[in-house]
Structure 1
Amino acid sequence: MSDGDGPGISADEEDQSPVVQTDLFDSYREQLALSERRATWKAFAAPLTSQAGAVVRDPDLVEMAVAVIGAFSEHPSEHGMTFAQIREGLRSMGVGATFATIEARLEHLHREGFLETYLPKLHQGRYVIRPAGLVGALAAQRVAEYGGIDEMVLLLDRTRAALQMPNPDPRRVLNHLHTCRFTLTVFAKDLQRCVATGTSAELMIMGRQHDHSGYTQQVVDLNSLITSRFAGLYELEDAAAALIEAEQFYRAQVRAAIGKVLAHGGASLNFDVLTPREYEDAAIGSSPDLLADVGTHLIADAPEVVIDVNGMVKALDQYGPRPKHRFRPPEPPRGNPDPDPIGAMARAAVEARRRRRLGLEALLGGKTEVDLTSAMQTSWPTAVRILTDAMALDADKNEPFLLHIDEALLIDPEAPVTYLHPARLIRTEFVLPEADMSTEQSQSQQGGSDV
Structure 2
Amino acid sequence: MPEVDIGEVLNEDDRADIFQPTEQMNIFDSNRQQLSHTEQKATWKSFAAPLTSRAGAVVEEPDLVEMVVAIIGVYSEHHGENGMTFAQIRETLLRHGVTISPTAINARLEHLHAEGFLESYLPKVYQGKYVIKPAGLVGALAAQRVVEHGGIDEMVLLLDRTRAALQMDHPDPRRVLNHLQTCRFTLTVFARDLQRCVATGTSAELITTGRQHDHSGYTQQVADLNALVTSRFAGVYELEDAGAALIEAEQFYRAQVRAAIGKVLAQGGASLNFDVLTPREYEDAAITSSLDALAAVGAHLVADAPEIVIDVSLMINALDHYRPRSKHRIRPPEPPAGAHDPDPIAAVEQAAREAKRRRRLGLEALLGGRSEADLTEAMKTSWPAALQILTDAMALDSDKDEPFVLTIDEHLLVDREAPVTYLHPARLIRTDVMPESLESKIDQLNTTDGGDRD
Q: Deviations over 1:1-39 (max 9, x none)?
A: xxxxxxxxxxxxxxxxxxxxx842877644521010000
Measure, in 1, the Cα distance between the counterparts of 2:29 and 2:266: 27
Q: Using a 3 Å threshold, how does the CA distance of structure 1 residues 27 and 216 change in structure 2: closer, same or farther? A: farther
Residue 292 of structure 1 corresponds to 295
Provide closer, same or farther for how the CA distance between residues 301 and 64 of structure 1 changes in structure 2, counting only shifts above 3 A: closer
Compared CA separation, residues 30 and 279, structure 1 to 2 (3 A): closer
For the structure 1 residues 303 and 64, does the alpha-carbon distance in structure 2 shift closer, same or farther, using more than 3 Å as the test? closer
Q: Which residue does 1:269 correspond to in 2?
A: 272
**Which residue does 2:168 correspond to in 1?**
165
| Distance in 1 separating the partners of 2:124 and 2:30 | 42
1:239-318 to structure 2, matched below 5 A, reads 239-301=242-304
- Matched residues in 2 for 1:302 and 1:185: separation? 51
- Alignment correspondent of 2:136: 133
For residues 310 and 38 of structure 2, the distance between their equivalents in structure 1, rounded to whole angstroms, comes to 57
Q: Is the 8 A contact 2:27 2:69 kept in 1?
A: no
CA displacement at 1:267 relative to structure 2: 2.5
Read off the aligned partner of 1:142 and give its amino acid letter: R
Instruction: Give SS of 2:38's match.
Output: helix
Give the aligned partner of residue 42 of structure 1. 45
1:202 aligns with 2:205: yes
In percent, how many aligned pairs have the same letter?
78
Q: CA deviation at 1:232?
A: 0.7
In the TM superposition, what is the alpha-carbon distance from 1:277 to its structure 2 partner? 1.9
Distance in 2 (alpha carbons) for counterparts of 1:126 and 1:27: 28
- Would you say the 8 A contact 2:152–2:214 is kept in 1? no
Deviations, residues 199-254 of structure 1 (Å, cap 9, x unaligned): 22221122221122100000000111111111111111111111000000000000
User: How far, CA to CA, are the matches of 1:303 and 1:104 in structure 2?
Assistant: 58
Q: TM-score, normalised by structure 2?
A: 0.61
Secondary structure at 2:98 match in 1 = coil
Distance (whole Å) between structure 2 residues aligned to residue 287 and residue 30 of structure 1: 28
Say whether residues 1:92 and 2:95 are aligned partners. yes
Distance in 1 separating the partners of 2:31 and 2:218: 22
What are the within-5 Å matches in structure 2 for residues 60-75 of structure 1? 60-75=63-78
Q: How large is the RMSD of aligned CA atoms in angstroms?
A: 2.2
Give 2:35's aligned amino acid: L
Alignment partner of 1:79 out of 82, 96, 104: 82
Looking at structure 2, the residues matched to 46 and 24 of structure 1 have their Cα atoms a distance apart, in angstroms, of 26
Shift in CA distance, 27/103, structure 1 to aligned 2, threshold 3 Å: closer
Are the structure 2 counterparts of residues 302 and 83 from structure 1 closer, same or farther at C-alpha, using a change threshold of 3 Å?
closer
Give the 3 Å change call, closer, same or farther, for CA 28–177 of structure 1 in structure 2: farther
Cα 1:300/1:86, change in 2 over 3 Å? closer
| Residue aligned with 1:128, SS | strand
2:104 and 2:78 map into 1 onto residues whose CA distance is 22
SS at match of 1:268: coil
Q: CA deviation at 1:183?
A: 0.1
Give the count of matched residue pairs.
290
Does residue 189 of structure 1 match 2:211? no
Partner deviation per Cα, 1:66-125 (whole Å, 9 max, x = no partner): 121122122221101111111111111112322221111000000000000000112221
Structure 2 counterpart of 1:166, which letter? D
Deviation at 1:295, TM superposition (A): 1.8
Alignment of 1:177 with 2:145, yes or no, is: no
Contact 2:34–2:148 (CA<8 Å) still a contact in 1? no
1:284 positional shift: 2.1
Please tell me whether the aligned partners of residues 28 and 70 of structure 2 are also in contact (alpha carbons under 8 angstroms).
no
1:234 alignment partner AA: Y
Which secondary structure does the structure 2 equivalent of 1:209 belong to? coil
Measure, in 2, the Cα distance between the counterparts of 1:107 and 1:152: 35
The one of 22, 27, 30 equivalent to 1:24 is 27
Aligned-partner residue type, residue 284 of structure 1? I
Q: In the superposition, relative to structure 1, how do residues 244 and 149 fare at CA in structure 2: closer, same or farther (>3 Å)?
A: same
Corresponding residue for residue 378 of structure 1: none
User: Alpha-carbon deviation of 1:299?
Assistant: 2.2
Instruction: State the distance in 2 between where 1:219 and 1:277 align.
Output: 29
Q: Unaligned stretches of 5+ in structure 2?
A: 1-24, 318-454
Q: 1:106 aligns with which of 91, 94, 109?
A: 109
